[in-house]
């Protein structure tokens, strides 16, 4: 049975209470210089909260602090003490903060924010057997005792691809940034495709931050081949028209209204992009004759940060998101208290404190064993569980973009009974006859080495041409969809 964090039993009633953040002896000030002070064991459960309260990431750090203080008020656990330490947004600052927190009897550390800072404190925390619950999802810093509540890329990719596969989508293209995140998306997509019995047909890489997707979209959509195919047919018909074939003239007139002939070899495009970049990418696919609903656009949780309902090309698209079952309570209360809507990152801070409250009641228990309870917990962001390797699993909604606003079309499961953890970072084992996707925007061998951990053999390489029989079938199907019969 799923373990429920205690605040969920009473937070609806709390919503009507006076909205004031109070320290009630539970929240103590921050420290930045190494201190030799050691607090006695007074029966309280002390949690060191390591955040960038100054420096470049101060906005996120203070937002997280606000969220943790809001959670402290809601859980109303008198034995829980939060002690705040400023990491200054640097690994060195994080080390100082961690030493102070540990010297002052913190039994659990929440934070830091950046992967470099998590790495900087890991050895010290593990040597003192104090668990760390961070927010960064870099798999290179996660290990037993060093956990993250951050939303993992691989679980997002698997959730959306599994949903798409279960709803008839079988051939996927990936348009991904040429960076670590893009590679993580590609690895997870390849593994999810294997799990779901679907195929990744092509992967396009783009420069992070760009809004110019014209070239990569043109390549991925086989625009030149599809326009060339149409032009060849038109040329053949023109010869018949010149010979006096009236039927050929009618067919040619209809074909003159189209730009391409034949479908692309994918029915779904995964784009882990947001904002102007996402809108530009989808618009360019449309420009090169790749449209919904024939092709479904899907994304990751970053889509939630972009208003999409006014984008006609994205209507009907899907993306995964943290469960919204209880998130509105947190978002509304945070906005009332602090004058702005919280990011999803801040809700992680809330859940970290709620989890701390649950741990504070386990007197004498092995914290790591309790933290990694396979039944998981139910928080503001829905069901989640922390895994022994430091990664996590969230129960995610599937959201559809509609004109009136995004709508949940598949609610996040509330139990992990039937949900096996998905590890997109483990080695990819290729099945016999596996054919790798075509690569665009990057050297194929380099891309394969990043995704598969090695350059693949000739037997796994994609075809760089279309066999004659397949080409004829593409033309036949294309004309059939246009309801056109070409005269012999």
Model pLDDT for residues 233-256, shown as the tens digit of each residue: 999 999 999 999 999 999 999 999
Q: 3-class SS at 47?
A: strand
**DSSP run (H or E) holding 104:** none
Half-sphere exposure of 345 (CA within 13 A, CB side): 21
DSSP symbol at 327: H
pLDDT, one tens digit per residue, over 304-316 is 878 898 889 999 9
pLDDT over threshold 70, residue 26: no
What is the structure's pLDDT at 206? 98
Q: Mean pLDDT lowest for which of 205-214, 370-379, 413-422?
A: 413-422
| Mean pLDDT, the chain, whole residue set | 88
pLDDT over threshold 90, residue 95: yes
What is the structure's pLDDT at 401? 96
CA-angle at 218, arms to 212 and 220, nearest 5°: 105
Q: What is the mean pLDDT of residues 361-389?
A: 87
Q: What is the mean pLDDT of residues 37-50?
A: 73
What is the structure's pLDDT at 31? 53
What separation in angstroms does the CA of 466 have from each of 146, 356, 428, 472?
Answer: 49, 58, 27, 10
pLDDT, one tens digit per residue, over 307-349 is 898 889 999 999 999 987 777 889 999 999 999 999 889 999 9
Distance from C-alpha of 440 to C-alpha of 447, rounded to nearest angstrom: 9
Half-sphere exposure of 368 (CA within 13 A, CB side): 15
What is the structure's pLDDT at 32? 52
pLDDT over threshold 60, residue 2: no
What is the structure's pLDDT at 427? 87
Q: What is the mean pLDDT of residues 215-223?
A: 98
What does DSSP say about strands 382-386 and 27-31: parallel, antiparallel, or unpaired? unpaired
pLDDT over threshold 60, residue 295: yes
Q: How is residue 182 written in tokens?
A: 């893009």
Indicate whether this model's pTM tops 0.85. Answer: yes
Q: What would you measure as the largest C-alpha separation in the chain, in angstroms?
A: 101
What is the structure's pLDDT at 42? 59
CA-angle at 212, arms to 208 and 218, nearest 5°: 110
Q: What is the mean pLDDT of residues 212-223?
A: 98
Query: 195 or 7, which is more confident?
Result: 195
Handedness of CA 22, 27, 28, 32 (dihedral sign): negative
pLDDT, one tens digit per residue, over 136-150 is 877 789 999 999 999
Query: 185 or 33, which is more confident?
Result: 185
First vs last Cα of the chain: how many Å apart? 68
What is the structure's pLDDT at 41? 53
Q: Mean pLDDT lowest for which of 174-178, 206-210, 281-285, 465-469?
A: 465-469
pLDDT over threshold 60, residue 418: no
Residue-range domains of the chain with CATH: 3-151+323-394 (3.40.50.2300), 154-322+418-481 (3.40.50.2300)
pLDDT, one tens digit per residue, over 419-463 is 677 877 788 999 999 999 999 999 999 999 999 999 999 999 998
Residues in the chain, overall count: 488
pLDDT over threshold 50, residue 40: no
pLDDT, one tens digit per residue, over 107-122 is 999 999 999 999 999 9
Query: Alpha-carbon dihedral of residues 166, 172, 178, 179, nearest 10 degrees?
Result: 20
List all residues 6 or more positions away from 369 whose beta carbon is below 8 Å from its beta carbon. none
pLDDT over threshold 60, residue 477: yes
What is the structure's pLDDT at 9? 33
């Amino acid at each position: 049975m799923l373990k429920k964090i205690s605040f969920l039993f009473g937070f609806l009633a709390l919503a009507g209470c006076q909205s004031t953040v109070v320290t009630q002896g539970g929240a103590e000030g921050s420290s930045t210089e190494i201190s030799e002070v050691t607090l006695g064991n007074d029966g309280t459960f002390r949690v060191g909260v390591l955040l960038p309260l100054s420096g470049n990431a101060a906005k996120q750090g203070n937002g997280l602090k606000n969220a943790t203080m809001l959670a402290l008020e809601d859980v109303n656990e008198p034995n829980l003490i939060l002690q705040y330490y400023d990491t200054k947004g640097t690994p060195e600052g994080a080390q100082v903060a961690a030493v102070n927190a540990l010297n002052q009897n913190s039994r659990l550390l929440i934070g830091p924010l950046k992967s470099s800072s998590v790495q900087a404190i890991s050895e010290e925390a593990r040597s003192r057997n104090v668990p760390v619950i961070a927010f960064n999802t870099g798999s290179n810093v996660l290990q037993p005792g060093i956990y993250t509540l951050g939303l993992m890329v691989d679980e997002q990719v698997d959730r959306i691809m599994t949903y798409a596969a279960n709803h008839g989508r079988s051939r996927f293209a990936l348009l991904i940034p040429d960076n670590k995140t893009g590679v993580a998306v590609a690895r997870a997509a390849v593994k999810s495709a294997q799990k779901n019995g679907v195929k990744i047909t092509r992967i396009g890489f783009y420069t992070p931050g760009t809004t110019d997707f014209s070239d990569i979209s043109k390549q991925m959509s086989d625009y030149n081949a599809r326009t060339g195919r149409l032009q060849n047919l038109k040329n053949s018909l023109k010869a018949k028209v010149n010979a006096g074939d009236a039927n050929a003239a009618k067919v040619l007139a209809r074909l003159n209204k189209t730009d391409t002939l034949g479908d692309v070899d994918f029915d779904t495009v995964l784009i882990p992009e947001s904002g102007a970049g996402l809108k530009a990418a989808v618009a360019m696919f449309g420009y090169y004759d790749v449209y919904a609903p024939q092709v479904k656009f899907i994304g990751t949780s970053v889509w939630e940060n972009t208003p999409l309902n006014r984008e006609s090309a994205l209507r009907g698209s899907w993306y995964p998101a943290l469960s919204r079952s209880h998130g509105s309570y947190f978002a509304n209360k945070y906005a009332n208290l602090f004058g702005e809507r919280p990011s999803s990152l801040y809700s992680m801070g809330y859940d970290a404190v709620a989890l701390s409250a649950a741990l504070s009641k386990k007197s004498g228990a092995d914290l790591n064993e309790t933290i990694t309870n396979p039944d998981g917990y139910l928080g503001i962001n829905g069901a989640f569980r922390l895994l022994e390797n430091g990664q996590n699993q969230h129960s995610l909604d599937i959201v559809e973009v509609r004109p009136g606003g995004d709508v949940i079309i598949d609610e996040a499961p509330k139990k992990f009974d039937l949900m096996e953890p998905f590890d997109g970072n483990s080695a990819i084992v290729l099945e016999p006859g596996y054919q790798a996707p075509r690569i665009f925007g990057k050297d194929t061998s380099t891309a394969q080495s990043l995704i598969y951990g090695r350059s693949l053999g000739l037997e796994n390489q994609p075809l760089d041409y279309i066999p004659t029989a397949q080409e004829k079938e593409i033309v036949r199907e294309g004309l059939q969809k246009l309801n056109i019969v070409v005269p012999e």
